[in-house]
Structure formats: C-alpha cells, structure tokens
C-alpha cells in the first residue's frame, strides 16, 4: 500500500467531480424543460376539451338513437326540446327526440311584467315559478313520474337591460327516471314551433 498519496475525503473536490457536477445540472435542467413542455402540451389539449362545445349542430333527422345534438350548450335549446343528461337550464345537455328516453324538457318561455322595478331574487323566482306553472302540459306523461320545475330568469343586470324572459324546464326528480313522450300538449307544441 502506498501511503504517499492520500485519498480525498467526501468533501474534497477534484477536477473530475467538477465535470460530473456540471453534467448533473445540465441533465436536471433538460429534464425540467421536458417536464414543463409536456405539462403545457397536456394542459392545452385538455383545456380545449374541457368546456362545452359552442358549435354543436342539430341533427334534424336523427337516427334510431333519437339524438339531435350531443352536449348542446343551453343557448341551443328550443321550446319543446327533450333533454337527457340534464342538470340545469344553463348547462349543456343532450337534445333527443321526445320518443327517446329523457329526463327533462324545455316546456316554454314566459315574459315577466315590463313596467316594474327588479323585484329581487326571491320576487323574480316567485314570478318565474308562477309563469312556468301556467304552461299547459300533457298530463299522460306528467303523471308517470315526479317532476320539478327548473328555470333561468333575469338577473338584476339583465333586467336593467330589458330582459324579462323566463325559460321553463321540467325535470324528473329521481335519478334514473327517464320519460318518453312530450310534456307539451299537441296544440301547445304546435304553437311553440310556429
């Protein structure tokens, strides 16, 4: 054993250690860049898919599945539309033919009184419920399930801009209850489409 050449301890730096340290930091930096780039690519792809489509087309001649538009935004709903996967009048839902199983229907719109000040949220809600309940319905389909009213209504800002429209929906109250047939009377459905 040669004792004239001491071995450096763990804290001693040698020229070879300096090169290894530089390679380590370069490699770590490259890995960080790759991870960040991957994150941003994944994020941009999923961000495009996260929101509801705004350019959904209505299929006016649906096939055997009865689907008119899948995950249509609320702005596409038309009076009489039967809806599946319904959660709220402001959320996307699938528009289906009413002969297809569905859990909600857009039953109509109503206009609230024009010449009154904004009645506030409780007052507007009361007026919206009253307006929606005035729509005449097909009792054959109505009595098959328990239903609840859902509606969109003017906000204080939209009221100031002249909005008095209430959009009325009926939805089944129990998960899994799926109706077939329209809730609208045939004379009401005919006048709603004209």
Domain co-membership, 28 together with 85: no
Number of folded domains that form the chain: 2
Domain co-membership, 26 together with 72: no
> Chunked in runs of 10, what are the mean pLDDT values of the chain (194 residues)?
42 54 66 52 48 74 93 94 95 96 95 83 85 89 88 89 92 91 75 44
Q: Which of 117, 154, 112 is nearest to 134 (CA)?
A: 112
Q: Are 105 and 98 a contacting pair, CB within 8 Å? A: yes
Determine the Cα–Cα distance for residues 151 and 172; give it in Å rounded to an integer.
14
Domain co-membership, 187 together with 144: yes
Domain co-membership, 77 together with 139: yes
Which residues form the domain of 134? 67-193
Domain co-membership, 179 together with 98: yes
Q: Are 105 and 184 a contacting pair, CB within 8 Å? A: yes
Confidence at residue 68, expressed as pLDDT on a 0 to 100 scale:
96
User: Has residue 8 been placed in a domain?
Assistant: no
41 SS3 class: helix
Tell me the three-class secondary structure of 124-159, residue by residue: HHHHHHHHHHCCCECHHHHCCCCEEEEEECCCHHHH
Confidence at residue 36, expressed as pLDDT on a 0 to 100 scale:
53
Domain co-membership, 42 together with 82: no
Domain co-membership, 102 together with 134: yes
Determine the Cα–Cα distance for residues 148 and 125; give it in Å rounded to an integer.
14
Domain co-membership, 171 together with 132: yes
For 115-166, what is each residue's pLDDT tens digit? 788 888 788 888 888 889 999 998 888 888 899 999 998 888 999 899 999 9
Q: Are 77 and 91 a contacting pair, CB within 8 Å? A: no
pTM (2 d.p.):
0.67
User: Has residue 115 been placed in a domain?
Assistant: yes
């Amino acid at each position: 054993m040669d004792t004239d050449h001491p071995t450096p301890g763990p804290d001693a730096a040698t020229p070879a250690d300096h090169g290894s340290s530089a390679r380590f930091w370069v490699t770590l930096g490259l890995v960080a860049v790759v991870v960040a780039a991957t994150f941003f690519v994944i994020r941009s792809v999923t961000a495009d898919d996260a929101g509801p489509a705004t350019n959904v087309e209505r299929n006016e001649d649906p096939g055997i599945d009865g689907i008119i538009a899948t995950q249509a935004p609320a702005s596409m709903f038309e009076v009489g539309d039967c809806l599946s996967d319904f959660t709220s009048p402001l959320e996307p839902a699938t528009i289906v033919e009413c002969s297809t199983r569905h859990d909600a229907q857009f039953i109509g719109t109503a206009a609230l009184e024009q010449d009154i000040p904004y009645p506030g949220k409780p007052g507007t809600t009361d007026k919206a419920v009253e307006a929606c309940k005035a729509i005449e319905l097909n009792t054959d389909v109505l009595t098959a399930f328990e239903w609840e009213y859902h509606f969109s209504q003017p906000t204080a800002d939209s009221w100031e801009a002249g909005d008095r429209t209430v959009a009325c929906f009926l939805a089944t109250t129990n998960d899994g209850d799926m109706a077939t047939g329209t809730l609208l009377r045939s004379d009401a459905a005919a006048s709603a489409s004209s």
